[in-house]
Amino acid sequence: MQKFDCLHYKKHEKHFRLNFFYKIIKKKKNLEITALKILKKLLTAVEYLHANYVCHRDISPQNILVSEDISIFKLVDFGVSKIFMDGTNPIEMITPTGLPAYRAPEIWKGNKLDEKIDIWNCGHVFYELLKGKHITSKK
């Protein structure tokens, strides 16, 4: 696989990182519908992960690849993901991970971490798609 800035080619597939993809979709009139489609695919991916006791812990636009027509959606970069359940025994997540700008409030407060931090990140990504800016941006 060769990398060209934000474009990734694998055989004949063309994927855009979501933060780059936003530049394309913001020109469309159906931005909200497109953002909802992406959110639905993201939540489906997170639901699958959580059903298999995996917490991604680093969901951000930089870790989402989509095709131009949104038919292909990939959640990538599982470098800091963690299994949060061993049978019926919870496994504690202690280490705060992910980009600081995308960390859930419970991480900053030092609260006990669980898989719900992924849900915060999904909402954060959705907000960023709709507004075109980071959730903590003052502009």
Domain covering 2-131 in this structure, CATH number: 1.10.510.10
Mean pLDDT of 107-123: 86
- Structure-model confidence comparison of residues 57 and 99, the more confident one: 57
Q: What is the pLDDT of residue 133?
A: 74
Has 69 been annotated as catalytic? Answer: no
Asked if 125 contacts 64 with a C-beta cutoff of 8 angstroms, the reply is yes
Give strand ranges (E) for the chain.
2-4, 7-10, 13-17, 54-55, 64-66, 73-75, 82-83, 85-86, 89-90
- For residue 45, the surrounding DSSP H or E stretch is helix 31-51
Task: Tell me the pLDDT tens digit for each residue of 52-96.
Answer: 999 999 998 889 888 877 888 889 999 999 999 888 888 888 777
Q: Residue 135 above 90 pLDDT?
A: no
Q: Please state, in angstroms and rounded to a whole number, the distance separating the CA atoms of residues 27 and 98.
A: 29
Ramachandran class of 5: left when φ > 0, alpha when ψ lies in -120 to 50, beta otherwise: left
Count of C-beta atoms within a 10 Å radius of residue 59: 27
Q: Parallel, antiparallel, or unpaired for β 73-75 and 82-83?
A: unpaired
Q: Which of 5, 58, 77, 86 is catalytic?
A: 58
Q: Which two tokens stand for residue 85?
A: 């359940």
- Decide: pTM greater than 0.85: no
